[in-house]
Chains A and B, each alone.
Chain A
Amino acid sequence: MRWVDGSSIEAQVLCPSADLDPVSILAQPPSLPFSNDSLAFIDDFSSSLSKSAAARRHPGIMALAFWMRRANLNRIRSGFAAQYAEHLLIGRGLAFHIAPANVETLWVYSLFLSLLAGNTNIVRVSSNATDELSVLVGLLDEVLARHPGVRRRLLVVRYGHDDSLTAAFSAVCDLRVIWGGDDTVNKIRRIPLPPHASEVAFPGKFSVAVIDAAVWNAERDHARTARAFCLDAFTFNQQGCSSPKLVYWLGDTVARQAARESFWKAVEAAAPSVHDYSFGEAEAMTRFVSVCSAAIAAEGAIARTDAASKLYTTLSLSTLGDIVRDANVGHGMFYEYGWTSLDPLLGWFGASDQTVTSYGVSREKWRTALEQAVPRGICRVVPFGSALEFFPVWDGYDLLRAFCREVVIAV
């Protein structure tokens, strides 16, 4: 594509498909949040997605369509309006989003929230050509043709591992949004931004499932809860930031022991319903290596249990301090720890912990516990089955708010 300085750069423009003049994109002024044309566009895109047979093949795209349906957007909009009624918020300008490789829909959430915030956008999507990506880009292009106002505010590009392109896009943006692991964030942070620009980064995270053993033991529908856990844990091969990698058992020893046994049995029965879990030869080897790494790191006791089907391996620890978060690379490996209260967990939470998927612990209990412990990490507590659901408040950022600039008028 031709770049603003007249040079030609090696980025493939996926969307819009024709007549691109990057200068016209860069020249777009920011707008107020929730402009009518951005809402109309997203609405149109959402209904196109729902109608597309190709899109229906992908549960991730269906979740996206569900999230961007009009009722939900209205809820987000009125929440935003209520919260910031007295504030003047304006889009920051040009947002440059760097999307992760393998959560194929995440870039659309990032892009649309930024569009709603009033920004113009450049998105760098992964160079992995997946079916999800081509479906999304194809439909996006089709719908944009009907929305010329939005069409000038959005550019989806793809390129290989080329820092000079990331530098070119970074040099002109007002906001950089980095989704990826720690290495990605570190690498991109070395690439300069204009002094006034801001950055929101989403590095690697670790997540935990908490189960109240007594509640589980009294539960009548084990299958449903186990299915929800499987969805959280096994989607993306347990490699999402929000995929639980530690199962924390709350309760006394007797209750915990009974619960553990029936829980993992129910999980093994429910797991085949998760279609996005592939455990093959390479994954078995990688899990084996992780198990060894975890054992090397564990100073206290450690005990391994394998599912008969090899679906998962659990490592029971005698202290949470023995967990090396990076050593668990997913593929069905779970640390386990149990205690009579949440205290050890609250004390252990660190800066890179993100989501608690909670079963049997009430909202009030979490609120009180977190207020008392004030941990460095943990940004969400959600019920089983919601770990991978996208929330507009992510990793502690209200994304819409972070994508806006606030003008204080104090006269």
Chain B
Amino acid sequence: MLDLTAFWSSPAFSWPAARKTSVLVSALAELDRHHEENCAEYRKMKRVLNHVPEFRAVEDFPFLPVRLFKMYDLRSAAEQRSSKTMTSSGTTGQAVSRIFIDKGTAILQTRALAHILKDFIGGKRLPMIIVDSRTILAGPGRFSARGAGVVGMSAFGRDHFFALNENMELDYDGLSAYAAKHSDECIFIFGFTFMVWRHFVQALGSRGIRLDIPNAVLIHGGGWKKLQEERVDNDTFKRSVSEVCGGHVRVHNFYGLIEQTGSIYMECEHGNLHASNFSQVIIRHPISHQPVSYRERGVVETVSVLPWSYPGHALLTEDLGELRGEDDCPCGRCGRHFSIIGRLRKAELRGCSDTYAMGRR
């Protein structure tokens, strides 16, 4: 298991570029070696990743397309009783990612998440509203990404209140009572972006209810796809949250992959997504996959030092984004900051490719 002592002893957004590169390069070299030795698929793929022979920068490391986790069970550790396979929620008919997580990796994920969140909500447990249903935790068998997210975040709260019932309806009375009970405290609200919008903001708005929790902080993630379809941007989202909460509440979006749980990218007060010490973000040219410079649109590669039980430390996502800067965000956090612009379209099916069956994909 990777020794992350240096990471735990520094605040999560504290390393300037040179320091961070040197720590990450040695951590990634060890991860690369570990996965090469313990994952046959990774070892085989390395033959065609055409990386440079010597790793000097984070950009030099081989990376895998994240889609592979929907096609293969990639693992670098033996199955244990405590290990589990996490799956993405994926809509019906879509392939889901299957991520093999052993106990050691799970502990790193939880610790890293805590370390990152501490920078935003402090180290104390806050009264917590979860914009989801308690049933999300009860799912037998598979461990869903949404459930894992809720469990992971719950560690930062106390007196947890699940705001939705099993039919995804908002418990107005319960919520009002909870808000009244904790009105003079900082309440931590957590939920997935679309759930927060549909089942919290819109549900309250449609009834004309204004909660009186101006000291709340909302952390939400999971993607903007559905909100974009409804033409809701981040500013509208934030404004609407503040309206229903009765004050200027702090709202932080986060970007993260289920394939790299734990090392999430938090949005700061200035609207930038930040790589923490645990992770790095690289924007690559959409066709050549070579790194591009600041303010250039490209495919997002995310790097994380956490994945030990599966080879997910360097992944080329299907998201498009651009780098905005490094170590220079007005919020004062070190590290690269960036924005997500959208998603890669699907490759066209042509020729004699499957036509009738296509509708199901």
Which residues of A are at the interface with B, using a C-beta cutoff of 8 A?
Answer: 98-103, 126, 160-161, 179-184, 187-188, 202, 204-205, 236-241, 243, 278-286, 288-289, 291-296, 298, 301-304, 306, 310, 315, 329-331
Contacts and interface: CB of A to CB of B under 8 A. Distances in A.
20 contacts: A98-B356, A101-B358, A103-B352, A160-B359, A183-B356, A236-B351, A237-B350, A278-B348, A281-B299, A281-B345, A285-B318, A288-B289, A288-B316, A292-B48, A292-B65, A295-B48, A296-B41, A296-B45, A301-B47, A330-B351
B344 A187 contact: no
B349 interface: yes
Contacts of B64: 292
Given A243-B351, A303-B48, 17 more contacts: A102-B351, A161-B360, A181-B353, A183-B357, A236-B350, A236-B351, A239-B349, A240-B350, A241-B351, A280-B286, A281-B287, A282-B345, A292-B45, A292-B48, A292-B68, A296-B72, A330-B350
A282 B344 contact: yes
Contacts of A100: 352-353, 355
A292 B288 CA distance: 16
B341 interface: no
Contacts of B347: 282-283, 285-286, 329, 331
A181 B44 contact: no
B152 to A, nearest CB: 29
A399 to B, nearest CB: 16
A180 B44 contact: no
B235 interface: no
Interface residues of B, number: 36
A181 B360 CA distance: 14
Contacts of A286: 347
Given A285-B344, A286-B347, A303-B47, A181 B355 contact: yes
B352 A180 contact: yes
A121 B347 CA distance: 33
Contacts of B65: 285, 288-289, 292
A335 B287 CA distance: 20
B355 A285 contact: no
Contacts of B346: 282
Contacts of A298: 44, 47
Contacts of A99: 355
B50 interface: yes
A294 B347 CA distance: 18
Interface of B: 41, 44-45, 47-48, 50, 64-65, 67-68, 71-72, 286-289, 299, 316, 318, 344-360
Nearest to A286: B347
Chain B contact residues: over half helix, strand or loop, or mixed? loop
Nearest to A306: B50
A306 B287 CA distance: 12
Given A239-B350, A286-B347, A180 B356 contact: yes
A179 to B, nearest CB: 7
Contacts of A183: 354, 356-357
Q: Which 7 A-B pairs give the minimum distances between C-beta atoms? A: A239-B351, A181-B354, A101-B355, A183-B357, A236-B351, A281-B286, A161-B359
A295 B352 contact: no
Contacts of B48: 291-292, 294-295, 302-304, 315
B67 A102 contact: no
Contacts, number: 137
A60 to B, nearest CB: 12
Chain A contact residues: over half helix, strand or loop, or mixed? mixed
Contacts of B351: 102-103, 236-241, 243, 330
Contacts of B357: 180-181, 183-184, 187
B113 to A, nearest CB: 28
Contacts of A292: 45, 48, 64-65, 68
B286 A240 contact: no
A82 to B, nearest CB: 31
Given A295-B44, A295-B45, A303-B47, A102 B349 contact: yes
A303 B44 CA distance: 11
A261 to B, nearest CB: 18
Nearest to B298: A281
A307 to B, nearest CB: 11
Nearest to A327: B71
B33 to A, nearest CB: 18
A296 B46 CA distance: 10
A102 B350 CA distance: 5
A279 B288 CA distance: 11
Nearest to A243: B351
Contacts of A303: 47-48
Contacts of B353: 100-102, 181, 239
Contacts of A288: 65, 289, 316
Contacts of B41: 296
A280 B345 CA distance: 10
Contacts of A237: 348, 350-351
* Most B C-beta atoms less than 10 A away, residue of A182, A187, A285: A285
Contacts of A329: 347
Contacts of A278: 348
Nearest to A280: B287
Given A282-B344, A291-B48, A295-B47, A102 B355 contact: yes
* Most A C-beta atoms less than 10 A away, residue of B44, B72, B316, B359: B44
A204 B358 CA distance: 14
A103 B354 CA distance: 11
Nearest to B361: A183
Contacts of B289: 284, 288
* Most B C-beta atoms less than 10 A away, residue of A181, A205, A243, A294: A181
Contacts of A294: 48
B356 A310 contact: no
A180 B359 contact: no
A205 B348 CA distance: 18
Contacts of A102: 349-353, 355
Nearest to B68: A292
B257 to A, nearest CB: 15
B244 to A, nearest CB: 38
Contacts of B286: 280-281, 284
B74 to A, nearest CB: 9
A179 B352 contact: yes
Contacts of A180: 352, 354-357
Nearest to A188: B356
Contact of B354 (A182, A243, A279): A182
Contacts of B352: 100, 102-103, 179-181, 202, 204-205, 236, 239-241
B47 A282 contact: no
A296 to B, nearest CB: 5
Contacts of B360: 161
A160 B351 CA distance: 19
A41 B48 CA distance: 54
B347 to A, nearest CB: 4
